[in-house]
Structure 1
Amino acid sequence: MSDKASNITLVILAAGASSRMGSPKQLLSWGNDNLITHAINNALGSNVEEVIVVLGANYDIIFQEISHLPVTIVFNNQWEFGLGSSIASAIDYLNNQEEKPNGVLITLADQPLVTSEHLNELILNFSPGTNQIIATSYSNRKQGVPVLFDSHYFKALLQLDGDFGAKSILVKNQTFVKNINLHFKNIDLDTLEDYKMLYDQNFKPLH
């Protein structure tokens, strides 16, 4: 993590129960890694000061898988309430630190096509202290994760508790949003079919 950016913390949301997968999604294979380790390695390859992984469901087995990595692990005991509660857990941790970051970059563990390069592009477009939000722009004109929030939004992020993540903050603050286009087709792995299809496209087919 050389050439660190302006004191940005990256947060990987990985607290869900993966009920539609039949097993912890975070531990599904991805090449020589699994999804959570792959996401962490990409995060560690970006220009951030700290990487936080928010865990919830299946905490013990996922913790054992990643505890040797140089990341901060935060437990969200309200993970059932969705992504918003996991974001709030990470912000609560940051608010209790002596030095707070200039911004927080939020990513998901189930978007394996996101690269360190894309994360760094978001960071390069960020100007600390200007209330900026740097969002990923999708082809259907939607804005979403990965997304970088200036620390100005920490209070609003701390109040999140639903399963809609931080979309409401994006909508309310469009004046301050800068969109960064994707150079690849990003996919959330919500079902086992999604996962198998994407895996087969990138590696030897699963049997």
Structure 2
Amino acid sequence: MTDKTSNVVLVILAAGASKRMGTPKQLLAWGKDTLIVHVITQALKTEAMEVIVVLGSNFNVIHQKIKHFPVTILNNMNWHSGLGESIAFASRYIMGKATLPDGILITLADQPLVNWEYLNEMISTYSSVKHPIIATSYQKFQYGVPVLFSASYLKQLIRLNSDFGAKTLISKNEHDIWYLKPEFNNTDLDTMEDYKALHSLFFE
């Protein structure tokens, strides 16, 4: 585990209803734990000064599984408005702090291959380059989360309200972005088929 030496807040988005999955994906098994516990455990190993988990749908049952972790748990009652609203919800909480962080690192609860080493690489890159956005690069010139925004973007983040999430800001501010490509093939688990295929690669 690393020292909490950065002034970056890490936000885990975990508010969705998992409609395409058919069951709360946050509670699916991943190794000896669940997806949400795995992602939180990775986040807590980073240099982030605080870990925020945004819940919404199925709040009570998921909260019971993670309430013992040293994280800030937020209940986004408007989770049905999509990822953008969850980002805005967390950003409003951050803006209410007496002292603002230098940056906000946003990651998802359904990307189990994102490890603490990569998240730390994003934090250290942000500290060393002059770009206010550090985004994850994928194949075919695609990019997205995890993404780290300078606190100067908070006023824009709180205005997000759609299911496009951070990609809206990324696409509008390409001149501000430094891209990082992870060594792993990052995967979103949107359907049960996605989950079973990835789970079988690691645990079966």
TM-score grouping bracket, smaller chain normalisation: over 0.9
* Residue 42, structure 1, aligned to residue 20, structure 2: no
Q: Which runs of 5+ in 2 are unaligned?
A: none
User: SS in structure 2 opposite 1:47?
Assistant: coil
- Residue 181 and residue 131 in structure 1: after superposition, are their counterparts in 2 closer, same or farther (change >3 A)? closer
Q: Return the TM-score normalized by structure 1.
A: 0.95
- Residue 145 and residue 50 in structure 1: after superposition, are their counterparts in 2 closer, same or farther (change >3 A)? same
What is the distance in 1 between the residues matched to 2:150 and 2:129? 7
Code of the aligned partner of 1:97: K
Question: Would you say the 8 A contact 1:103–1:128 is kept in 2?
Answer: no
Q: Which runs of 5+ in 1 are unaligned?
A: none
State the percentage of identical aligned residues.
54
Question: Would you say the 8 A contact 1:9–1:48 is kept in 2?
Answer: yes
Q: Post-superposition shift, 1:129?
A: 10
Code of the aligned partner of 1:96: G
User: SS in structure 2 opposite 1:127?
Assistant: helix
Task: Please show how residues 159-174 of structure 1 align to structure 2 within 5 Å.
Answer: 159-174=159-174
Q: Return the TM-score normalized by structure 2.
A: 0.96
Counterpart position of 2:76: 76
Q: Deviations along 1:24-74, whole A, 9 cap, x unmatched?
A: 110000010100000000100111000000000000000000000000001
Q: Post-superposition shift, 1:20?
A: 1.5
Q: CA RMSD for the aligned pairs?
A: 1.4
Counterpart position of 1:66: 66
Question: Would you say the 8 A contact 1:129–1:150 is kept in 2?
Answer: no
What is the distance in 2 between the residues matched to 1:6 and 1:182? 21
Give the total of aligned pairs.
204
What is the distance in 1 between the residues matched to 2:186 and 2:197? 13
User: SS in structure 2 opposite 1:51?
Assistant: strand
Counterpart position of 2:143: 143
What is the distance in 2 between the residues matched to 1:54 and 1:77? 10
Q: Where does structure 1 differ by over 3 angstroms across 4 or more consecutive aligned residues?
A: 127-131
- Residue 128 and residue 99 in structure 1: after superposition, are their counterparts in 2 closer, same or farther (change >3 A)? farther
- Residue 2 and residue 184 in structure 1: after superposition, are their counterparts in 2 closer, same or farther (change >3 A)? closer
